[in-house]
Chain A
Amino acid sequence: MAAFVARLRKGDEVAHLVALLFGLVLILLTVLIFFELARNSSLARARFGWRFLFTQTWDPVAGQFGAAPFIYGTIVTSAIALVVAVPLGVGAALFLAELAPRRISDALTVMTELLAAVPSVVYGLIGVSFVVPLMRQYVQPALARVAGSLPLFTGPAYGVGYLTAGLVLAIMIVPFIVSVLREVLLAVPRDQREAALALGATRWESTWRVVLPYARLGVFGAVFLALGRALGETMAVTMVIGNRPEISASLFAPGYSMAAVIANEFTEATGDLYLHALVEIGLVLFLLTMIINAFARILILVTTKRGTA
């Protein structure tokens, strides 16, 4: 005991304990969130079981709840956002880190970080007042003309819907990808580039085949950070997605997302089953985020092994 106290007096041990405590708080928070979500969704889980994940009906009057349209909407909009934002973000970050003159790069980086800090409701307003009319009048009719034979681009052009929500999400997450990725690319050692150039590679070859693969961990990190934001985004999505709990093949169709339905219906939800169904959607969203994070870890592990072998 005396030895322990003596050790405690040394700053290192105290710092160690304090840091450990703070670390434990993170774990405790995660467990607590999971526990609370599980506890407050017990009624819905008992009533609907696994069917909850696969049924499409969301009828608060009849007390029938199925989360499939919301899960589908969250995944589809996030996927659209990634498809658009990743090439854009990687390209912009490459330009800022590799090609642009220092002064331009710094100025643009400040702008990017400003964009990343804009509250999502502002993006929602931009979505409603600018993106939605643009989609309805120009983009959707054009897509329907060019690719109308695909079921993805059929149906009436409302302006709001999966595609618009995905695009607004893309606009929101590009700044995240760019600002993280630029830092990552700048951290790639100079001798990597010089070695590639010395071997006769062009500037582009050195960037594409040496710098980017070297930084791929950071690329994954940036993409999954952005994906996390897209999955959980509430306000901007609900303003432009159309809020219709229905699975449609067409990306023009109005849809719904998990975060949006919780925000929309929680305040006025009466009846225990209704509340529990909403909390269960929160639980599903929480688990989906965890699964995607785990998937990211595995992807990183696999690719690092291959890279170093």
Chain B
Amino acid sequence: MPLMLYLRSSLLPMIVASMIACGGSAPPANAPAAGASGARTTVTGAGATFPYPIYSKWFDEYHKRHGDVEINYQSIGSGGGIRQMLAGTVDFGASDVPMTDEQLGQAKTKILHFPTVLGAVVPTYNIAGVTQELKFTPAALAGIFLGTIKKWNDPGIAGPNPGVALPAADIVVVHRSEASGTTFVWTDYLGKVSDAWKSKVGANAAVNWPVGLGGKGNEGVSGLLKQTPNAIGYVELIYAVQNKLGYGSVQNSSGAFVKADLASVTAAAAAAATSMPDDFRVSITNPGGAAAYPIASFTWLLVPAQLPDATKGKTIVDFLKWILADGQSMAAPLSYAPLPKEVVAKEQQAIAQIHAGS
């Protein structure tokens, strides 16, 4: 086995698993021993990097329960996952961004989207002399990232933050330099709350930024933020939590200022669940609901509706059922928000659309 594959399939899940153990989740006491009978089934997938820690935890736990099944996953990025999916080189894909109609049209077979967990994106900042947690209105965030709000003491920022001594300094905007699902969620949100953003910039994994510096990855953005006085940027919630970065709350469509956490992110998905389309390709930014954090998103597994290999097909179906049932409880310890019940129920029905065997 090549070294990297070995690291991916064995070591990382072990590390992740040991981290979970500290979190106090129950060990799989009733796990059956590795199946000695039958041939091994190897399923390959590729795609998003954002859900990689929870996915590798799931693959590992699933392997403990089904010793004859091995799921190999390469976290090559959402765009790469979609490309591999369309090329038919992997059994399933994964993406933080739903596939477009155009991409689905290119596929040889129908491709189904299955939301797995939720992520959120938070505004984080470094302002000289400000230690308080800031509250951002949608208009303020859009103005800052459009470059129309130039100073920290602009009334648009200062208004909801009475008592915070905001300096009259120029705002330095920091964004992701590489294309990423995080940027997609962020720009998708800004497009929903600002017409100017929608017409000038739009939503995509990489956009033509009106202002700002680019940092590579969450760590690049937070690195620039730490060094640059009076800077603002955005990072994944999980990254902010794990690295203890302070972040601001954002006003949602009900007018409440909500700070991102697992509950408020799941609430965002629950608010969107009522209007969930049958193919699950939905943006849940700026949802209704007073408790919902407005900058959140599903991440999806992409599975073909026709799986010619019956064994692989059955494995994928079984795996999907398992992550919707048992797998969801493993999300929270890794800081991923679990799916709301309504979405789980709807997905369990949708699994019937997968046909294994030719």
Which A residues contact B (CB, under 8 angstroms)? 57-62, 128, 132-133, 136, 156, 158-160, 238-239, 242-245, 254, 256, 260, 263-265, 267-271
Contact = CB atoms under 8 A, between A and B. Distances in A.
Nearest to B82: A270
Interface in B177-222: 177-181, 201-209, 212-216, 220
Given A267-B79, A268-B79, A60 B204 contact: yes
Interface of B: 76-80, 82-83, 97, 100, 102-103, 170, 172, 177-181, 201-209, 212-216, 220, 223-224, 227-228
B234 to A, nearest CB: 15
B216 A243 contact: yes
Report which residue of A58, A60, A61, A128 has the largest number of chain B beta carbons within 10 angstroms of its beta carbon: A61
A275 to B, nearest CB: 8
Chain B binding surface, main DSSP class: loop
A256 B216 CA distance: 12
Given A59-B208, A243-B213, A268 B203 contact: no
A139 to B, nearest CB: 15
Contacts of B82: 270
Contacts of A244: 209, 212-214
Given A60-B206, A61-B203, A158-B213, A268 B172 contact: no
What 6 A-B pairs have minimum CB-CB distances, sorted nearest first? A243-B214, A268-B179, A243-B177, A61-B202, A268-B79, A267-B77
Contact of B206 (A133, A136, A265): A265
Contacts of B203: 61
A135 to B, nearest CB: 11
A244 to B, nearest CB: 6
Contacts of A62: 202, 208
Contacts of A243: 177, 213-216
B177 A238 contact: yes
Nearest to A64: B208
A61 B198 CA distance: 11
Contacts of A160: 213, 224
Given A61-B204, A269-B79, 4 more contacts: A61-B207, A256-B214, A268-B206, A271-B102
Contacts of A239: 216, 220
A268 B95 CA distance: 10
Contacts of A268: 77-80, 178-181, 205-206
A244 B201 CA distance: 15
- Majority SS at the chain A contact face: loop
Contact of B227 (A159, A264, A269): A159
Contacts of A260: 177
A59 B213 CA distance: 16
Contacts of A254: 213-214
Contact of A60 (B76, B83, B100, B179): B179
A159 B201 CA distance: 26
Nearest to B77: A267
A158 B228 CA distance: 7
B77 to A, nearest CB: 4
A48 to B, nearest CB: 16
A39 B208 CA distance: 26
B179 A59 contact: no
Contact of A128 (B97, B102, B204, B223): B223
B322 to A, nearest CB: 29
B231 to A, nearest CB: 9
B178 A267 contact: yes
Contacts of A256: 214
A116 B214 CA distance: 28
A239 B103 CA distance: 32
28 contacts: A60-B206, A60-B208, A61-B201, A61-B207, A132-B227, A156-B170, A159-B228, A238-B216, A242-B213, A242-B214, A243-B177, A254-B214, A260-B177, A263-B178, A265-B178, A265-B206, A267-B77, A267-B80, A268-B77, A268-B78, A268-B79, A268-B178, A268-B179, A268-B205, A269-B179, A270-B79, A270-B97, A271-B103
B354 to A, nearest CB: 24
Nearest to A238: B216
B118 to A, nearest CB: 20
Contacts of B215: 243
A158 B172 contact: yes
From B100, B103, B178, name the one whose CB has the most chain A CB atoms within 10 angstroms: B178
